[in-house]
Amino acid sequence: MAELRSSPPAEPPRYRIETGTRASTMLALGGIAVVAMLAVLPAFAGRGLIQDLIFVFYMLALAQCWNLLAGYAGLVSVGQQAFVGLGGYLLFALTIGAGIDPLAALVLSGLITAVLAVPTALVVFRLRGPYFAIGSWVVAEVYRLVFAQFKQLGGGTGTSLPPSATGGIFGIEWVKTAFELRSPAARDIITYWIALVLAAGAPLMVYLVLRSRYGLALFAIRDSEATAESAGVDSFRTKLGVYVLVAAATAMIGALIYLQKARISPDAAFSVLDWSAYVIFIVVIGGVGTIEGPIVGVIVFYALQRYLADFGTWYLILLGALAIATMLFAPRGIWGYVAQRYNIALFPVRRRLLRP
Amino acid sequence: MLDWIGTIIQGVLLGGLYALFAAGLSLIFGIMRLVNLAHGDLIVLAAFAILALASWFGIDPWLATLLAMPAMFAVGFGLQQLLLNRTLGRDLLPPLLVTFGLSIIIQNGLLEAFTADSRRLRLGAIETASIQLGGNLAIGVMPLLTLGSAIAVILLLNLLFYRTALGRAFRATSDDLEIAQLMGIDHHRIYAIAMAIAMLVATVAALYLGAGANFDPTIGPARLIYAFEAVIIGGLGSLWGTLAGGIVIGVAQTVGAKINPEWQILAGHLAFLAVVLLRPRGLFPRAED
């Protein structure tokens, strides 16, 4: 029995958990450089390009928000136009009605919407899967019809943002003297910077959420809700948190969109085509459930619109056909296909276990 | 008091139209859980088919509807076999995006072919005929015919569902897909037949849509949302439930409009939200989801 000595306990192999990749480090540096370059762009670029980029930025931000909701939290909504419209209308109400600076009104719109999103969630969270999708659309319609009742905001025909409400927007005097511009062009530049902040902030927000404990809970719920719950994840609260966060961000984007358009109407602000269908199209073409996907998708969408929108109905038929073809032949989208083929992750959110 | 009774009767009749829009949707949603965002546009497509056939052959819309039915049957069968069957699965997004793509293709294709002009199916004297109920109450013959057709369609679909071998196959695939496949059911073919039948119902709906009001290529989605509400209120897989759902929406809308004309649509949506808050699975769900 003497030889049956207990061997010294083996040193447990030191596992490490890694999330970053070399590509992601390079991307972080590259991303900062791109954002810095875009920030100084108004010094060189014409007004047309600035306006086009504002469109690209807010569509990208909306796509990132929808992707977090549907691609990661499994809440496939066709009613996010509710929050775009809410943000836009709150901005108009706060600037015209209360005379608040548009920039402060934009942030306030997000906060107020976050509060309104809680009772909205309590209604739509009663529904699941396809019922949730339809229910969220009905809720957006309810918001549209309610805002059409406010005579102070133009009722069903809508209203305009008077130049006096935005003429004094924070920082405009500085831009006017620095770039030697008149008010409308200077306002575009300020709007452009806000759009840039939102477009850069949205992927960052998604990334930080997914890297946190919250993100881990979301992945668990997506893969199996019952298992996640049995492991102690509060599925309802996790989803509610994401829903409210996305609603607030979407409302701020909506406020920005209508700050730039300077004209709002219920039909446009709560449009299911503009703020849900096209956004879903962008995310799915690019790759749902990835942070890179919406970036790829918005570039494709912008290119199509820039070069083909003159063809009117044929452009839309092509858009529909492209949506169908993507779903049939590359259901994980363009980025999903590339990432699988070449094994790259620019925004690594998966935790990988490494053995020494 | 009497005009309130009149309002509610109008609501019930309007509900018949919504139930007719929703019956085809309810059938395919019940059998294959497919959220068909193009259903409204397919009804509009059928309405244009009736219009085109009626003017080509110089026949009245009733006859043209009969001619359009086999064509729409083929459209439904082909659509399901070639396209929609490949999108079905656990994931909700593929059918959502594909039917959304279909929706804009149909809308814009119709705009190319028929322009954006408003059209109407002319049925002659019956359009304005009404029946006096005494007092100041009168009900239109067309709305009554619409409700009657909705009831007839649902009766026929229920006979098909509960009295035939095909209906048994429908119920089996709806209840448990895997076991149904083990029993030798080709579920893709069953789905294609279901979609084809849904398109027959859509053609009937198209006749009443086109005769009751002006239509143009873009009105599909607005009608679709009422149809979905009727299906969800009724409960998954219950066709009589869908009729009840249509009537709930219809009555809520006419009562809302009576209080304030601007509240018509809003009242319908609020009634829907109230029902799902109390009964998230609808009033009469037949199947488990």
Burial group, residue B127, by CB count within 10 angstroms (0-12, 13-18, 19+): middle
Return the DSSP state at B125: G
Domain that holds residue A243: 20-354
Helices (H), chain B: 2-32, 39-57, 61-82, 93-114, 141-163, 165-175, 177-182, 187-212, 220-234, 239-259, 264-278
**A6: in domain:** no
Q: In this complex, is the C-beta atom of A324 within 8 Å of any C-beta atom belonging to chain B?
A: yes
CA dist B81 and B16 (Å) reads: 30
CA distance A223 to chain B (A): 12
Nearest by CB to A134, from B86, B232, B270: name it.
B232
* Residue range A53-110, pLDDT digits in tens: 999 999 999 999 999 999 888 899 999 999 999 999 999 999 988 888 999 999 999 9
Task: Using CB atoms, pick whichever of B102, B228, B277 lies closest to residue A320.
Answer: B102
- Quote the ipTM score: 0.90
Kindly tell me if the per-residue pLDDT of B128 is higher than 50: yes
List the domain boundaries for chain B. Answer: 2-116+136-278
Q: Please report which confidence band the pLDDT of residue A12 belongs to, taking 50, 70 and 90 as the band edges.
A: low
Chain A contact for B277 (CB, 8 A cutoff): yes
In tens, the pLDDT along B257-267 reads: 999 998 999 99
Region A291-314: mean pLDDT is: 89
Residue of A nearest to B90 (CA): A129
Do residue A321 and residue B105 have CB atoms under 8 angstroms apart?
Answer: yes
Instruction: Return the SS3 of A354.
Output: strand
Alpha-carbon distance A138 to B268, whole Å?
Answer: 10
**Are the Cβ atoms of B96 and A322 closer than 8 angstroms?**
no
Name the residue of chain B whose CA is nearest to A71's CA: B93
Nearest residue on chain B to A280, alpha-carbon basis:
B97
pLDDT at A1: 45
pLDDT band at B288 (very low <50, low <70, confident <90, very high): low
Number of domains within chain A: 1
The shortest C-alpha distance from A19 to chain B (Å) reads 27
**Cβ–Cβ gap A134/B228 under 8 Å:** yes
CA distance B208 to chain A (A): 24
**Averaged pLDDT for residues A8-13:** 60
Suggest the residue from A75, A127, A134 to mutate for an interface test with chain B (most B CBs closer than 10 A): A134
Q: Is the pLDDT of residue B156 over 90?
A: yes
Q: Residue A85's pLDDT is what?
A: 96
Which is it for the CA torsion A302, A307, A310, A314, positive or negative? negative
Whether A124 is covered by a domain: the verdict is: yes
**Is the separation of the CB atoms in B172 and B180 below 8 Å?**
yes
Are the C-beta atoms of A94 and A109 separated by less than 8 Å?
A: yes
CB contact under 8 Å between A323 and B86, yes or no, is no
Is B226 an interface residue toward A (CB < 8 Å)? no
User: Under an 8 A CB cutoff, do B102 and A78 touch?
Assistant: no
How close A89 comes to chain B (CA, Å)?
19
Which residue from B98, B225, B280 is facing A137, i.e. has the nearest CB?
A: B225
Given a contact cutoff of 8 angstroms between Cβ atoms, the answer to whether B175 and B183 are in contact is no
Which residues of chain B are within 8 Å of residue A133 when distances are taken between CB atoms? 35, 92, 96
Q: Compare all CA atoms of chain B with the CA of A126 and give the residue at the minimum distance.
A: B280
Report whether pLDDT(B94) > 60. yes
For the cut 60, the answer to whether the pLDDT of residue B27 exceeds it is yes
* A2 domain-assigned: no
Average pLDDT, chain B: 91
Does A36 reach chain B within 8 Å, measured CB to CB?
no
Is B71 an 8 Å CB contact of chain A?
no
Instruction: Please name the residue ranges forming H helices in B58-140.
Output: 61-82, 93-114
Of B87, B104, B229, the CB nearest to A316: B104
Roughly how many angstroms between the first and final C-alpha of chain B, as a whole number?
Answer: 42
Residue of chain B nearest A135, judged by CA positions: B273
Domain assignment present for A1 = no
Does any CB of chain B come closer than 8 Å to the CB of residue A348?
A: no
Mean pLDDT rounded to a whole number for chain A: 87
Q: Give A315-335 pLDDT, tens digit per residue.
A: 889 989 998 998 888 888 888
Residue A218: is its pLDDT beyond 80?
yes
pLDDT band at B256 (very low <50, low <70, confident <90, very high): very high
State the nearest Cα–Cα gap between A64 and chain B, in angstroms. Answer: 16
pLDDT reading at B65 higher than 60: yes
Q: If you count them, how many residues does chain B have?
A: 289
Distance (Å) from the alpha carbon of B135 to chain A's nearest alpha carbon? 35
**pLDDT tens, A15-28?**
776 666 677 777 77
Distances (CA, A) of B125 to B52, B66, B97, B120: 21, 20, 43, 14
* Rounded average pLDDT over A298-327: 89
